Amino acid sequence: MNPLFRKYVCIAAVALLLAILPIAASMLGQEYYISLFSRILIYAIAAVSLDLLLGFSGMISLGHAAFVGIGSYVVGIFFYHSAEMEPLLTHPFTVQGSENGLIVIPLAVLVSAIFALVIGALSLRTKGMHFIMITLAFAQMIYYFFVSLEKYGGDDGLSLYARSTLPGLDLGNDLQFYYLCLLLLSLFLLFTTRLVASPFGIVIRGCSNNERRINALGINAYGYKLACFVIAGAGAGLAGALLANQTEYVSPGLMHWTLSGELMVMVLLGGLGTLFGPVLGAAAFLLLEEFLAMYTEHWMLYLGPFLILVVIFAKRGLYGVLVGGGKDHG
Amino acid sequence: MLLVVEQLLNGLQFGITLFLMSAGLTLVFGIMQVINLAHGSFYMIGAYVGATVTVYTGSFLLGIAAALPASAVCGMVVEIIVLRKLYNREHLDQVLATFGLIMFFNELTRIIWGRQPLFMDVPPWLSGNIELLPGLFYPTYRLAVIGVGILVALVLWLIFSRTRIGMQIRAGASNRDMIGALGVNIKLLYTLVFGMGTALAGLAGVMAGPILAVESGMGESILILTFVVIVIGGIGSIRGAVAGALLVGLVDTMGRAFLPALFRFLFDSATADSAAASLSSMAIYILMAAILVWKPKGLFPAHS
């Protein structure tokens, strides 16, 4: 079969499955799956954003969860101030809390992007192993910052008593929330596939192959990589904002480095540098976790070695299995 | 003043534990070009084996004697089964596979030893305090840890600069293809270096046992600090590991001890406490970021 055709068939099948899943779940009386799959869609957004770094630009960030955490805390902190009727900032100008999704979700994306800009600008001075570790260190720095932030619950985190409000939608309704996540994931995938195919994306992929050559062509590789890092951070922030809404709870645990590791696992499991793969990877990882946890409390004992086998033997993950091993990117 | 000396010693002791962890890891980084996230797992294995043997036999020295080979053997087995397949792979594959190893080892210790942390007592002959200066009493055990760390550093230095195997290891760090071509069994050398590194991690673990709780996942918090040390010192450099470990140990301990008092000078007490708490837990990461911005390859880069 023509691999491109096979790719479109697979994507259409997954999209159709995700679109009818909540309807089927409510007909079968298994509403639990709606919230499980909402979580999968949200992690998929984070994993796709990480794939931009790992799979396309060759920047191995072990601190991606920090941006998920920042996004979720923006939603959490604004909700807290809105519920307490206490302004978030009084000086130099007044900022009130908010529960309005049209304000807090874009703001979460923006704040994550700003953090990614600062962290990326410093981290990108280093390469290779140093980059892996400095991103990890920045994530830990932010993690400890929120752990010691007593006002917002410190280690215990913050509980939200409701989800954000959006005009015309009731996010408290799991079905509507699911479709919002699906819509945002689809838009994000559309954006990222266009991005990696654009001239920008070509430069980014060039940087991962041979940065020196890109610089020799008169292109400032640093700027391109930084822009890519910021976009990925913003995507993770979006995931964080949705995750805070889904669980109605934010805590520093969201930026713990094990979550960064798990996001990496999702990308790899689904297929590195494929964008659609990480969606499958997020689904596979969370379902596997759910499924193994039903049989044994020690599911990590099996997941760990399984992961090692995937790393050693299956290069393009689930996407490679479904679509075939041919490289269609870079 | 005595408080400052005491905290300096605490920082030194913490730095020494970090050095034992980093020495092995930096060699593995420098020579094999492998990122090993699972290094903390060998620290944990050392602590668990040491604690268990100490409880059964009643002897701390036997605990150490058991922990060292246990973590060395585990390390070498892992090297042969998993890491050998990863030497020619990208860093990303190494990160993911060793992340899988962490999951495996954490869960394995939970199955064998349960979820409750183990507590080790300081052996009676090391409990008590020594009067270092008039009025300054310092726990004997912590002094012993400092002594062991300095001894290990000296032995490592002797091995590296005075023995044949040390020469081969240094040669492997600067050009591994060349040393292979000269007829040195690179595979065996790698396994030995890896085993030595994990044995040092196990030593750090068993010595930390009486100070910290021995529990599943204890390796990760120290692992990340170890990364900070190595990045500050420069990957692959033992000298850098010494400098980085002492710097991180001192900055972390002094920050936690004195920042709250310093901040209470400047702000009202509520703000001061929370600001000092967050700044002192972030201090070493800020230090690392600052050093990397100034010297992107660390203080003592191995390959310059």
Nearest to B288 among A137, A147, A150 (CB): A137
Q: Please count the residue pairs, one from chain A and one from chain B, whose beta carbons lie less than 8 angstroms apart.
A: 131
Contacts of A145 in chain B (CB under 8 A): 278, 281-282
Binning pLDDT at 50, 70 and 90, where does residue A1 land?
low
pLDDT digits (tens, 9 = 90+) for A49-86: 999 999 898 889 988 999 999 999 999 988 888 887 77
Q: What is the rounded distance in angstroms from the CA atom of residue B176 to the CA atom of residue B178?
A: 5
Q: Per-residue pLDDT averaged across A175-189, rounded?
A: 92
Mark yes or no for CB contact A148/B82 under 8 Å: no
Q: Per-residue pLDDT averaged across A110-128, rounded?
A: 91
CA geometry: angle A195, A257, A265, nearest 5 deg: 55
Chain B nearest CA to A125, separation (Å): 6
Q: Closest-CA residue in chain B for A208?
A: B90
pLDDT digits (tens, 9 = 90+) for B218-233: 888 888 888 889 888 8
Task: Measure Cα distances from B284 to A105, A134, A294, B153 in Å.
Answer: 32, 12, 41, 23
Mark yes or no for CB contact A125/B281 under 8 Å: no
Mark yes or no for CB contact A311/B93 under 8 Å: yes
Given this model, what pLDDT does residue B293 score? 78
A118 touching B (Cβ < 8 Å): no
Nearest to B296 among A125, A137, A304 (CB): A125
Mark yes or no for CB contact B285/A272 under 8 Å: no
Nearest to B231 among A125, A133, A298 (CB): A133
A62 touching B (Cβ < 8 Å): yes
Six-digit token string for A314: 């299956």
Six-digit token string for B128: 């008590």
Q: Name, of A147-151, A208-212, B251-255, the range with top average pLDDT.
A: B251-255
Whole-structure pTM value: 0.87
Q: What is the rounded distance in angstroms from the CA atom of residue A198 to the CA atom of residue A187?
A: 16
Contacts of A134 in chain B (CB under 8 A): 231, 288-289, 292
Determine the 3-state secondary structure of A139 from DSSP: helix
Nearest one of A139, A117, A162, A141 to A64, comparing CA atoms: A139
User: Is the pLDDT score of A325 beyond 70?
Assistant: no
* Interface test mutation site (partner A, options B86, B88, B92, B112, max chain A beta carbons within 10 A): B92
Q: Which portions of chain B are predicted below pLDDT 50? A: 304
Given this model, what pLDDT does residue A329 score? 44
Q: What is the rounded distance in angstroms from the CA atom of residue A116 to the CA atom of residue A229?
A: 7
Q: Closest-CA residue in chain B for A272?
A: B92
CB contact at 8 A, A165 and A101: yes
Domain boundaries, chain A: 34-256
Six-digit token string for A178: 């699911």
Chain B nearest CA to A246, separation (Å): 26
Strand partners, A112: none
Mark yes or no for CB contact B228/A133 under 8 Å: yes
Query: Residue A265 burial (CB < 10 Å; 0-12/13-18/19+)?
Result: buried
More confident residue, A325 or A50: A50
Given this model, what pLDDT does residue B246 score? 92
Mark yes or no for CB contact B292/A130 under 8 Å: yes
CB contact at 8 A, B23 and B149: no
Contacts of B289 in chain A (CB under 8 A): 122, 134, 137-138, 141
Q: Residue B301: CB partners within 8 Å, gap ≥ 6?
A: B234, B235, B236, B237, B240, B295
Mark yes or no for CB contact B100/A305 under 8 Å: yes
DSSP character string of chain B: -HHHHHHHHHHHHHHHHHHHHHHHHHHHHHHH----TTHHHHHHHHHHHHHHHHHHHS-HHHHHHHHHHHHHHHHHHHHHHTGGGGTTS-HHHHHHHHHHHHHHHHHHHHHHH-SSPB--PPPGGG-SEEEEETTEEEEHHHHHHHHHHHHHHHHHHHHHHHSHHHHHHHHHHH-HHHHHHTT--HHHHHHHHHHHHHHHHHHHHHHHTTTS-B-TTHHHHHHHHHHHHHHHH-TT-HHHHHHHHHHHHHHHHHHHHHHHHHHHHHS-HHHHHHHHHHHHHHHHHHHHHHHHHH-TT-SS-TT-
Determine the 3-state secondary structure of A87 from DSSP: coil
CB contact at 8 A, B67 and B209: no
Given this model, what pLDDT does residue B304 score? 45
CB contact at 8 A, A136 and B225: no
Given this model, what pLDDT does residue A323 score? 75
Q: Is the peptide bond before A92 cis (omega within 30 degrees of 0)?
A: yes
Determine the 3-state secondary structure of A141 from DSSP: helix
Nearest one of B284, B258, B283, B214 to B18, comparing CA atoms: B284
Contacts of B105 in chain A (CB under 8 A): 304
Place of tokens 């919002």: A180
Of the listed ranges A146-150, A226-230, B266-270, B296-300, the least confidently predicted one is B266-270
Mark yes or no for CB contact B107/A264 under 8 Å: no
Mark yes or no for CB contact A272/B92 under 8 Å: yes
